Amino acid sequence: MTTVLKTEASPPRPGTDLAGRLQRFSWNFTDTFVVARRNLIRYVRLPQLLVFSTIQPIMFVLLFAYVFGGAITVPGNIDYINYLIPGIMIQTVLFGASQTTVGLAEDLSQGMIDRFRSLPMARSAVLAGRTLADSIRNVFVVLLMVGVGYLIGFSFQNGLPAAIAAILIVVAFGHAFSWISAFLGLITKDPEAAQVAGFVWIFPLVFASSAFVPVETMPDWLQAFAEVQPISRTINAARYLTLGDAAPGASMTDVWLTLVWMAGIMAVFVPLSIWQYRRST
Amino acid sequence: MTEAIIVEEVHKRFGDVHALAGVSLSIPEQTVFALLGPNGAGKTTLVNVLTTLLFPDAGHASVLGLDVVNDRQHLRNVIGLAGQYAAVDQYLTGRENLIMVGELYHLGRATARKRADELLVRFSLVDAADRPAKTYSGGMRHRLDLAASLVGNPKVLFLDEPTTGLDPRTRLDMWNLIRELVREGTTLMLTTQYLEEADELADQIAVIDEGRIIAEGTADALKSQIGKDVLELRIEDNGRLSDAAAVLRSVSSEELQTEPETGRLFLPVTNGASTVIDVVRRLDSAAIDLAELSLRRPSLDDVFLSLTGRRAQEHANGQTGHPADQPQPAARSETA
């Protein structure tokens, strides 16, 4: 057989001058997009994945709106569905973030991470590409939640810019959390263990929050926890952006504090995950 | 001749396990080097050190003059790695997998596409190019994996157990592909559990055990040193095994072994074919009936027995350390 490999395919080796540094820096983004596209293709090739990951949040909306909703009273003069949807949006992106854990554990166990790490790609890209892809999926799922909500009586009360801001803050918070999930995936290594590990810590955080019921109804000790934890903060922020001043117990302060939480989570878990990635094999 | 890979006193520990206990090697450019050893011997750890996946605890290693720790970013431009798993994305098509790797080598989308097309032709994957890799057979997936390791035009290629778990025919296909690569001047380091594979492909072989190189040389040198062909006999009447051993003891200068439970007898021989005639004559004149007789190539197990005095499996406790196509007999007792 004659050689058919004619293409000059030598990987570029930028120098240490400014142009080289800029080139290298730009790879952080281009490599991230390459990896994100790879992760999103899975949803196209395996549409069941998207279908089943959206059925669960839709069930939560219906369950809480119709089964528990009648028994839950919320302060102020607002419909329970309007109280519920911001909480459900956060719950959805956080449960979705657990997919980051599973995805990375799969990549590790199947040798994909070894392959990526032997390539001259940016070392942040495998993780950033994964969290980016999961956040893009979250945008889709949150919009679907809003659509289902509108069918059963939900509506944004605070104008379009605030509505967009509500969705953005929800998705951005999910993105910050998926860096925690990424770290868990890298240390769990096994996809089946990751199924549990990705989920189990999110569950109490979501339920011991203001997502479904006002925290005032909880016992004192739990109330104390529910009030300080970041998920209640973010739910209140989303609720404030959705409902305006009618949102019970929520204010613009919650929005600022949410941004602080997000920055804090990213500041810890982005470097921690990348450090763990570099020593994974 | 220039050295492509230099390894000096490399150590790597994982907790209590000394995975590499002072390994030194030098591998000339444009040669094929096989690292032969059972599971857990340290083969993959060494490949991982050389491909920048693991830092050595002590010692130095360089590939094409690039240090595996200090120059790792540059080093990744000039090496290719196909690990033990066929590390391809199941949901991407074969073509998409190769283009993705090309883009991550920063070849640019257009070049990455052209390169993918060429590799698909080269590895006979054109018909399956636009199907998701999860529909591929094991052999196709391994070919795609090998293709992916070549996207960046590597000067040094690392293949970690390239044929483990493949059926015999697919293994032959892989061997042919690997031979072609080598003919084009790629330096290749491969790891294997199969002596036969090292013999077929490699110019130089090193045997590794418990993180140490225990033998090194050309395939021929190593074989004449350690691996004689093995004549395996089973006699009808187990009770006459010791008679048979007595008759056959002087046939070969090597140690003869018996396995009383199964009535088997193992005889390492240098000149297989003519020894067979001698053996049959001797048994016939002693009126010992023969049930089976076979002459087989030495296995990794035989190499290990001869180098370390113990079997490869004892070492790789609880792991499937022997090749599926060379069934190993149960424990032997020495009767020399």
**pTM of this prediction?**
0.82
Residue B93 has what DSSP assignment? B
Check A5 against B103: CB less than 8 A apart: no
B83 contacts A114? CB cut-off 8 A: yes
Query: Chain A partners of B150 at a C-beta cutoff of 8 Å?
Result: 5
Short-list A44, A150, A37, A144, CA closest to B112? A37
Given phi > 0 = left and psi -120 to 50 = alpha, else beta, which region is A199? Answer: alpha
Q: What confidence tens digit (pLDDT) does each residue in A156-168 have?
A: 999 999 999 999 9
Chain B residues within an 8 Å CB radius of A45: 91, 132
pLDDT at B329 over 50: no
Chain B closest-CA separation from residue A10 CA (Å): 6
Please provide the size of chain A in residues: 281
When pLDDT is cut at 50, 70 and 90, the band that residue B316 belongs to is very low
Per-residue pLDDT at B323 exceeds 60: no
In B21-80, the residues whose Cβ lies within 8 Å of chain A are 48, 51-54, 73-74, 76-80
Distance between CA B190 and CA B157 in Å, rounded? 8
A11 touches chain B (CB under 8 A): yes
For residue A8, the chain B residues in CB contact (below 8 A) are 111
What tens digit of pLDDT does each residue of B229-280 get? 788 888 888 888 888 888 888 877 777 888 888 888 888 887 767 788 888 8
The pLDDT, as a whole number, for residue B313 is 55
- Cβ–Cβ of B153/A3 closer than 8 Å? no
Tell me what the mean pLDDT of segment B298-305 comes to: 67
Is 60 exceeded by the pLDDT of residue B320?
Answer: no
Q: How many residues does chain B have?
A: 336
Q: List the beta bridge partners of residue B212.
A: B209
The tens digit of pLDDT for each residue in A111-122 reads: 899 999 999 999
| Assembly ipTM | 0.88
CB B34 within 8 A of CB B205: yes
- Is the pLDDT at B86 greater than 50? The verdict is yes
**Distance in Å, alpha carbon of A18 to nearest chain B alpha carbon:** 17
